[in-house]
């Protein structure tokens, strides 16, 4: 018995919404960052599911690319967080608000 496509999509949606909720509610930059990764991978899951469902390898190849870019992006993001912490002694996003009017 194969897992139907809709299950994958539901799982992916749950993961994505979890990520969104995390981004919106958490104040720790690291956690927010992890939630963004979660959203990214939720989408990856959708891509792989559709790829297998449609019998087209393009989606899976694309996911490899997304993961490669995500790795680089994670490095940059973490570097920013470290630089931020060195300057502000905090990674609380609500206290980092100098970019305003």
Partner 1 sequence: MVDPLAMAHEVIGIAVALPLVGFLVNGLLGRWVRRESASGVLGSAAVGGAFLIALALFVELLGQPAGERVHVVQLYQWIGAGALRVNVAFQVDQLSVLMMLIVTGVGFLIHVYSMGYMHGDPGYRRFFAYLNLFIFAMLILVLADNFLLLFLGWEGVGLCSYLLIGFWYDRKFEKGTTADAAKKAFIMNRIGDFGFLTGMFLIFATFGSLDFQTVFARASGLGAGTPVIFWITLALFLGATGKSAQIPLFVWLPDAMAGPTPVSALIHAATMVTAGLYMVARCSVLFALAPMTLSIVAAVGAATALVAASIGLVQNDIKKVLAYSTVSQLGYMFLAMGVGAFGAGMFHVTMHAFFKALLFLGSGAVIHAMHDEQDIRKMGGLGPELPLTSKTFLLGTCAIAGIPPLSGFFSKDEILWKTFSGGHTLLWLAGLAGAAMTALYMFRLYTLTFSGAKRWEAGKHPHEAPRTMTAPLVVLAVLSAIGGFVWLPENILWGNAMERWLEPVFERARAVMPLPGDGGGTAEAVLMALSVTVAGTGIWLGRRWYLSRPDVPEALSRRFAWAYRLLLNKYYVDEAYDAAFVRPLVGGSEKLLWRGIDAGVIDWCIDNGARLIGWVSGALRMVQTGIARSYVLVFMIGVVVILGWMLAR
Q: Enumerate binding residues for partner 1 (CB under 8 A).
A: 20, 23-24, 27, 32, 93-94, 96-101
CA distance 14 to 42: 8
Nearer to partner 1, 24 or 76 (CB): 24
Q: How far is the CB of 100 from partner 1 (least distance, A)?
A: 3
Distance CA 30, CA 81 (A): 8
- What the block records as the tokens of 82 is 């470290």
* Least distance between partner 1 and beta carbon 81 (Å): 12
Of 17 and 61, CB closest to partner 1? 17
Candidates 66, 22, 75; CA nearest to 45 is 66
């Amino acid at each position: 018995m194969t897992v139907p496509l809709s299950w994958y999509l539901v799982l992916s949606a749950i993961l994505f919404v979890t990520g969104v909720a995390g981004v919106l509610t958490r104040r720790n930059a690291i956690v927010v960052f992890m939630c963004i990764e979660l959203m990214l991978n939720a989408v990856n899951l959708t891509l792989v599911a559709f790829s297998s469902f449609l019998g087209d390898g393009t989606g899976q190849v694309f996911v490899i690319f997304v993961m490669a870019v995500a790795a680089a992006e994670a490095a940059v993001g973490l570097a920013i967080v470290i630089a931020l912490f060195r300057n502000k002694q905090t990674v609380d996003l609500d206290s980092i608000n100098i970019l305003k009017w």
